[in-house]
């Protein structure tokens, strides 16, 4: 299985960690540091899946999700929320996000979530 994942997070360390993980899993990985950059990256080349942080400068993850979903409703998005942010989770799901995972997340859970969604996309 192959595919491209766009990792959107303002924390370089998080991007690097996830990039290493998913490259090792065989995916092609791209990164963006905020919502605006995420939109640019999606328009330049549509990814198969997006991992989206919520709190970011310039444009947050919810706003970016709305913008991306309006143009590309088929792209699965996993939102990385902070623990206990139930209202954000509700808004994210309403915006069309497929899954939410709270930070700090278990890397195996996230890996399995990505794999499962990628299989859905492939079918």
Residues that bind Mg ion (CB under 5 A): 10, 53, 55
Say what the alpha-carbon torsion angle 60, 119, 21, 27 is, to the nearest 10 degrees. Answer: -90
Tokens for 36?
A: 């605006």
Whichever of 55 and 72 has its CB closer to Mg ion, that residue is 55
Whichever of 64 and 118 has its CB closer to Mg ion, that residue is 64
CB of 10 to Mg ion, least distance (A): 4
CB of 60 to Mg ion, least distance (A): 8
Tokens for 117?
A: 């969604």
CB of 39 to Mg ion, least distance (A): 16
Give dist(CA 50, CA 22) in Å, integer.
12
């Amino acid at each position: 299985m192959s595919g491209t994942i766009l990792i959107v997070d303002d924390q370089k360390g998080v991007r690097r960690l996830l990039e290493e993980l998913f490259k090792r899993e065989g995916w092609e990985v791209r990164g963006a540091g905020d919502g605006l950059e995420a939109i640019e990256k999606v328009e330049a080349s549509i990814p198969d899946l997006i991992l989206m942080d919520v709190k970011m400068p310039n444009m947050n993850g919810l706003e970016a999700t709305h913008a991306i979903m309006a143009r590309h409703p088929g792209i699965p998005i996993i939102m990385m929320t902070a623990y206990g942010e139930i209202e954000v989770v509700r808004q994210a799901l309403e915006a069309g996000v497929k899954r939410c995972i709270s930070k700090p997340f278990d890397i195996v859970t996230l890996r399995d979530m990505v794999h499962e969604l990628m299989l859905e996309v492939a079918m």
